[in-house]
Structure 1
Amino acid sequence: GIKVVNIDNRLDPDVLKSKKLDIPFVGPDNRKGSKLVGDYLAKQLAAGDKVGIIEGVPTTTNAQQRTAGFKDAMDAAGMKIVSTQSGNWEIDQGNKIAAAMLSETPDIKALLAGNDNMALGAVSAVRAAGKAGKVLVVGYDNIDAIKPMLKDGRVLATADQAAAQQAVFGIQNALKLVKGEKVDAKDGVIETPVELVIKQ
């Protein structure tokens, strides 16, 4: 009789189905969010430009979804994705991967990072390679550390997925379930907002 709500990183829907479990997922559509960021980036580039994707932990759903959203946007705009590698959500790893991409593809035009930590690492790599202003960087999460970089243009865009509200959305829906009320789920998902964040 215990009610369960899944927040932020979605449990595998097929596994849930096979166990006959109905656990609503409360969280953002990561693919849609990263596509918003990718679409905005694409407007600053020209078709055929080379880009690299620095993804999160590749076994996690949200990393997979964000990479898919970036690819959707880049493919639609005719960009050439030269590399997709994991930075494991970390600043140092993001820096290492970005540095490698910059040296392997000197004419790369943009780096799309699956979270802002990796974007911070990418910004350092771009600066170290002497390519500040020549290689665009985007992230995802809208953490505090990224805000001054959005302001001065070191980062072009990120996505805000109301992270501080995720638990609130989850608890509100858990309370509904406990009271026996219906939750507003579509295919087992209660979608929370994601917004594009650019220089103000």
Structure 2
Amino acid sequence: MTSKMRALLTATTAVAGLALAGSAYADTMKIGITQNNVGVDSYQTTYERAFVSAAEANPNVEAVVLDAGGDVARQIAQMEDLIQQEVDAIIIWPTNGEAVIPAVRKAQNAGIPVIVTNSNIAEQGFDFVKSFSGPDNITQGSRSAEIMCDKFKDMGIADEAKIVQISGQPGYTTAIERAKGFEDRLPEVCPNVELMETQPGDWNREKSQRVMEAFLVKYDDIDGVYAGDDNMGVGALNAAKAAGRDGIIFVGATNFAVGYEAMERGEYWGSIYQSPVDDAEAALQTAIDILDGKDVPFLNYFDTPKITQENMDQFDKPVF
């Protein structure tokens, strides 16, 4: 990665070296994390590895690493377990932004600071959280809309293009926010582009391929597809290729390796560059900073720039 991009991606977050710095905390910090669903995609798998690595590299941190497996009830039980263990801080990657709020409130009432990572909880739970560490998903959706619109303008079809959207897991804040950012921004920049339909792909490539297959049967004219992440976007691309439907512009978010490779082949137009390593390290450092008594912003975003076929040479291929 170029020094310019490295500076951009780490401007508002922590890198591993910061996690190695000495802590003012009197004792070892016991930090628990309950993750959304590690096995669902390579982003979450890479995030977990990076989190464990950063925690192990810091002699002042003892990490308790749990995975909810996408199950809200299981995540709530894990929050209860971490409270019972009397950890010093809890990091939660919510399975559902609303359903976890009572458990987050219980942790706060027990005097345990809660840091939300990657995907925020619903706004009514903000009073029980010390900080959110992760990407600005509404901005990501907005930037994806700009990528799509700019491409349509270059193609001369901005006044007539018809598109479909494959969103993430229903009820999941990242999915809601990326869809909102895209849907709010698209009519501002390309008011005549028609979003015909949105269906969830649940962050799953195979399900997204089936969703796209149904779209292709239902709609004779599809000019573009927006997917909430590249895993789903490539599923949609695979469906279009199998059906022989050429010329569709695919735009995603969270640039997975499969998306990057499809961009290299000229089959996938653009995405949003987001590093799970930066995401994991930022969450851990945010927890450390809070326990150290440092002033941490409530919305602790790291930047996620646009990546397209035109500028992808400025970015390293994702490792996930």
CA 1:150–1:104: 2 relative to 1, 3 Å? same
Q: State the AA in 1 paired with 2:218.
A: E
Deviations 1:12-70, CA, capped at 9 Å, x for gaps: 221343xxx24210111111112112211112221231100000012100001111122
**Secondary structure, aligned partner of 2:278:** helix
Residue pairs, 1:152-191, within 5 angstroms: 152-183=265-296, 185=297, 188-191=298-301
Instruction: Name which one, 1 or 2, has greater alpha-carbon Rg.
Output: 2
1:32 lines up with 2:145 in the alignment: no
Q: Give the secondary-structure state (helix, strand or coil) at the position aligned to 1:43.
A: helix
Which amino acid is the alignment partner of residue 193 of structure 1?
A: D
Q: Does 1:55 align with 2:128?
A: no
Q: Is residue 211 of structure 2 the alignment partner of residue 97 of structure 1?
A: yes
Cα distance in 1, alignment partners of residues 244 and 185 from structure 2: 27
Q: Distance in 1 between matches of 2:266 and 2:134?
A: 29
Q: 2:161 touches 2:223 (CA, 8 Å); kept in 1?
A: yes
For structure 2, list consecutive stretches of 5 or more residues without a partner in the other structure.
Answer: 1-110, 153-157, 313-320
Q: C-alpha separation between the residues in 1 aligned to 2:185 and 2:306?
A: 14
Q: Which contiguous aligned blocks of 4+ residues in structure 1 show a shift greater than 4 angstroms?
A: none
1:3 and 2:113 correspond: yes
Decide whether the 8 Å contact of 2:147 with 2:251 is kept in 1: no
Deviation at 1:144, TM superposition (A): 1.2
SS of the residue corresponding to residue 111 of structure 1 reads strand
Contact 2:165-2:198 within 8 A present in 1 as well: yes
Indicate the SS of the match to 1:137. Answer: strand
1:65 is matched with which residue? 177
Superposition deviation, residue 175 in structure 1: 1.4
Residue 149 (structure 2) pairs with residue 15 (structure 1): no
Q: Which amino acid aligns with 1:85?
A: Q
Indicate yes or no: 2:246 matched with 1:139: no
Is the 1:74–1:81 contact (alpha carbons within 8 Å) kept by the matching residues of 2?
A: no
Give the TM-score normalised by structure 2.
Answer: 0.58
Distance 2:206 2:300 in 1: 34
Q: How many residues align?
A: 193
Q: What amino acid sits opposite 1:152 in the alignment?
A: R
What stretches of structure 1 of length at least 5 have no aligned partner?
none
Amino acid at match of 1:178: L
* Residue 149 of structure 2: aligned partner: 42
2:199 is the counterpart of 1:85: yes
Tell me how far 1:10 sits from its aligned partner. Answer: 0.7
Measure the CA separation in 1 of the matches of 2:184 and 2:126.
Answer: 27
SS in 1 for 2:133: strand
Q: Please report the RMSD computed on the Cα atoms of aligned residues, expressed in angstroms.
A: 1.4
**Per the alignment, in what secondary structure is the counterpart of residue 202 of structure 2?**
coil
Q: What is the alpha-carbon distance in structure 1 between the residues aligned to residue 232 and residue 129 of structure 2? A: 34
Counterparts of residues 114-133 of structure 1 (less than 5 Å): 114-132=228-246
CA deviations 1:118-161 (Å, max 9, x no partner) are 111111111122112x1111111111122111112211001112
The 2-side partners of 1:4 and 1:167 are apart by 15
Kept after mapping to 2: 8 A contact 1:94/1:122: yes
What percent identity do the matched residue pairs reach?
25
Matched-pair contact (CA < 8 Å) for 2:115–2:129: no
